[in-house]
Amino acid sequence: MSISGLPATYSPNQEITLTVTVSQPNRQRYGFQLTALNDSNNRAGDLLTNDNRTLVQTVGRQYISHSSSVDPTGPGQGSWTIKWKAPAQSVGRVTFYVAGNAANGDFSQLGDTIYSSSQSIQPGSTLGALATVSAASFAPPANALAASQIVAGFGAGLAQNVTLATPGMALPTTLDGTSIAVRDANGMVRDAGLFFVAPGQVNYLMPAGTVNGAATVTLRRNGVDTAQGTVTIESVAPGLFTANASGAGVPSAVLFRRRGTVDTFETVAQFNSTTNSFDPMEIDLGPAGDIVFLIAFGTGIRGLSSLMGASATIGGQNAPISAVVPAPGFDGLEQVNIFIPRTLIGAGLVNVVFTADGKQANTVQLRIK
């Protein structure tokens, strides 16, 4: 009983042609049955019939066997050529179990010989690429990230479906069978909380406690490593969210205005149906006595040494910062309160530049009347 044609490793969706052979001299009929299982004894991949000499049956597991054609294919043997299609993602080691019958042809259960054999194949060692960036700035992957930062991982085949975490609940560490583990520079491995997963993107929270230095991020599907990448962790890696979710343009923010004893909140972005994007609204700083703050939202700022380590400019002018605090009710999100000086009245479109402990966030824009 033999299986031939198996390479040492397989890659996702690879089709492999196999030959199953039962050998014993002076036999009249030959038959076989084969199944492919992972180490959990579950079906692995797809068995495909090449011709009418074989047939496929699925009963929980999948089996391929001889059909009605059981005559010898050569002196003292029967053989069949079949195909196996590897799973779309690695399932670890796959073992092919086969049983064969060398029969004497007397149409009874006596005098026949049953053989069995197995052969295994390992997944290829190359994992898919996983590039992780700030989910706010989308700065290049070479840029540093920080612990407790909201980040986005990009790759292929990262999840089967688009699945979101349940709002208001603790972030899950597995969604749709996808999970992420981060090994930091000290060798400590932590599971990441997931915001959402999709075939090409996974947004997750860089685990709290991840130490500075090189870290390895491994994405797993159903417990099997499928994609991997490296990141550099630093204490802060500031990024500001934007209305267009691109890392540029008008910030994802609100305007806080105090006029006398009345406090109001205003929007800073307006939707442009022509461009299908958000543009900066014109901000009126109001009459003398109005106090106006930009309340921007960012990530990668939680490790700020102190409020003194934060600074900002708007239109090139110093813009004092009154607070940098965790935003309530959202993991990894920080709120930055930036005073808008009245000397900017009439400035028009201006750049907002925020810096945390000497590291500059992505530049965003406001329009001041």
Q: Domain with 147 in it: what CATH number? A: 2.70.50.70
Which of 234, 249, 274 terminates a domain? The answer is 234
Between the alpha carbon of residue 19 and those of residues 82, 145, 217, the distances in Å are 6, 51, 40
pLDDT of residue 254: 97
Per-residue pLDDT at 258: 97
From CA 273, how far away is CA 134, in angstroms rounded? 27
| Mean pLDDT computed over every residue of the chain | 94
Domain range for 277:
239-368
pLDDT band at 178 (very low <50, low <70, confident <90, very high): very high
Name every residue whose Cβ is closer than 8 Å to that of residue 287 and which is 6 or more positions away in sequence. Answer: none
Please list, residue by residue across 35-62, b when 16 or more beta carbons sit within 10 angstroms of its beta carbon and e when fewer do: bbbbeeeebbbbbebeeebbeeeeeeeb
* Burial readout 277-310 (b: 16 or more C-beta within 10 A, e: otherwise): ebbbbebebeeeeeebbbbbbbbbbbbbeeeebb
Check pLDDT > 80 for residue 190.
Answer: yes
Q: Which amino acid is at 344?
A: L
Rounded to two decimals, what is the model's pTM? 0.70
Residue after which a domain boundary falls, among 108, 123, 138: 123
Question: Is 112 found in the same domain as 134?
Answer: no
The CATH number for 30's domain is 2.60.40.4060
Please give the pLDDT value at position 11. 83
Q: Is the pLDDT of residue 108 over 90?
A: no
Q: Whole-angstrom Cα distance, residue 80 to residue 2?
A: 11
- Same domain? For 101 and 220 the reply is no
What tokens does 180 get?
Answer: 């992420």
According to the model, what pLDDT value does residue 352 have?
98
Is the pLDDT score of 91 beyond 90?
no
Number of domains in the chain: 3
Q: In this structure, what token pair is assigned to residue 351?
A: 């750049």
**CA nearest 213: which of 192, 234, 244?**
234
Distance CA 363, CA 369 (A): 20
> Encoding tokens for residue 279?
């543009």
Q: Residue 355 is which amino acid?
A: T
- Cβ neighbour number for residue 86 with a 10 Å cutoff: 23
Q: What is the mean pLDDT of residues 281-305?
A: 97
Query: In this model, does residue 86 exceed pLDDT 80?
Result: yes
Question: Which ranges of the chain does DSSP label H, i.e. alpha helix?
Answer: none
Specify the higher pLDDT residue, 105 or 338.
Answer: 338
Q: Which of 60-69, 86-95, 212-221 has the lowest mean pLDDT?
A: 86-95
Read off the pLDDT of each residue in 64-69 and give the average, rounded to a whole number: 89
For residue 163, how many C-alpha atoms fall within 13 Å in the half-sphere facing its CB? 16
Do residue 245 and residue 223 come from a single domain? no
Do strands 348-356 and 364-368 pair parallel, antiparallel, or not at all (unpaired)?
antiparallel
pLDDT digits (tens, 9 = 90+) for 299-328: 999 999 999 999 999 999 999 999 999 998
CA distances in angstroms from 341 to 9, 56, 95, 323, listed in the order given: 64, 75, 70, 16
Q: Residues 137, 218: one domain?
A: yes
Dihedral sign (CA 57, 60, 62, 64): negative
Q: What's the mean pLDDT in 197-207?
A: 97
- 5-39 pLDDT tens trace: 999 888 888 999 999 999 999 999 999 999 999 99
Check residue 125 and give its pLDDT. 65
Measured from the Cβ of residue 211, the count of other Cβ atoms closer than 10 Å reads 12
Same domain, 102 and 171: no
Summarised one tens digit per residue, pLDDT across range 134-154 is 999 999 888 999 999 999 999
Q: What is the rounded radius of gyration, in angstroms, for the C-alpha atoms of the chain? A: 31
Both tokens of residue 292? 């106006």
Tell me, rounded to whole angstroms, the distance of Cα 39 from its chain centroid.
24
Residue 333 or 90, more confident: 333
Question: Which pLDDT score is estimated for 208?
Answer: 97
Q: Are residues 263 and 280 in the same domain?
A: yes
Strand partners, 259: 262
pLDDT digits (tens, 9 = 90+) for 323-364: 999 998 899 999 999 999 999 999 999 999 999 999 999 999
Average pLDDT over residues 282-311: 97
- Predicted pLDDT of residue 59: 87
Residues 292 and 277 grouped into a single domain: yes
Q: Any idea what DSSP says for residue 76?
A: T
CA-CA distances (angstroms) from residue 76 to 1, 72, 81?
A: 12, 7, 17
Q: What pLDDT is stored for residue 238 in this prediction?
A: 98
Domain shared by 140 and 115, yes or no: no
Once rounded to an integer, what is the mean pLDDT over residues 266-295?
96
Same structural domain, 218 and 280: no
In this structure, the answer to whether residues 32 and 117 fall within a common structural domain is yes
Torsion angle defined by CA atoms of residues 173, 174, 180 and 185, in that order, rounded to the nearest 10 degrees = 30
Choosing from 123, 155, 179, the residue where a domain stops is: 123
Q: In this structure, are 157 and 219 located in the same domain?
A: yes
Q: Tell whether 222 and 335 lie within a shared domain.
A: no
Please say whether the beta carbons of 105 and 119 come within 8 A: no
